[in-house]
Amino acid sequence: MKLNTFSLLLLSMLACSHQETELTEEGKVIYVVSQGWHTGLIVSSTCLEGISWPDEYDFSKFNFLLVGWGDKDYYQHSDFNLWYGIKAALWPTASVLQVAGINDIQGAERITDEIIPISISNEGYENLCLFLYENFELENDTLAIPGEKGFSLNSRFFMGNQKYYLTKNSNVWTAIALKEAGLDINPYSYQTKEMVLKMAKKKSNVRKKEEK
């Protein structure tokens, strides 16, 4: 993966940040989530502190961010649209990312169908954050470009810079992100939400705290 000057700065900020994702002996914990047909990830908000959010959508004030990716037209409309679905399946199309601000993981349960924790190494976490950063279309390498309002409270769509196509859908994108995080998988084998969630459960290595 090509690193530019700003990417190196991003990694430096991640290393120095005090607001961290939950720590384990193995590294850091991220969360694979499902929302309807889509999957996505929850990471610490510091993971994307290299991005400047528009003032009215300041996600830096939240502890965590839920990030999903999909076709620009289809993903931004909650109502089913046959033409958007056909277009997204047949031609490479523009993409967007949905970002939702969350203060705690329990709060994420209100806007997701399932949440699966996965522990990754610190290096894997840095690679994941860089991958997410590089999927945004940014003005002057920092400013996120807003799209439509998101589907939940404290959420918004932002323009992406990658193409969406049939074999690279939102679920494959989540799997690609997990591969960047260090999971030994073939991302293009995970075309559906069910496939991603099943894989995430197998890879989940976070021990639940014992109740006293």
User: What is the per-residue pLDDT across 76-97, written as a single tens digit (0 to 9) for each?
Assistant: 876 665 655 566 567 789 999 9
- Give the pLDDT score at 84: 56
Scanning the structure block, which residue is given the tokens 């999927």? 135
12-22 per-residue burial string, b: 16 or more CB within 10 A, e: under 16 = eebeeeeeebe
- Blockwise average pLDDT, block size 10, the chain, 212 residues: 44 41 64 93 96 93 96 80 61 94 92 96 98 97 94 93 93 98 98 97 74 32
Bridge partner residues of 93 (DSSP): 164
Q: How many Å from the N-terminal Cα to the C-terminal Cα in the chain? A: 45
Q: Give me 157's structure tokens.
A: 């769509």
Q: Coil, strand, or helix at residue 98?
A: strand
Distances 208 to 102, 115, 117 between C-alpha atoms, Å: 21, 13, 10
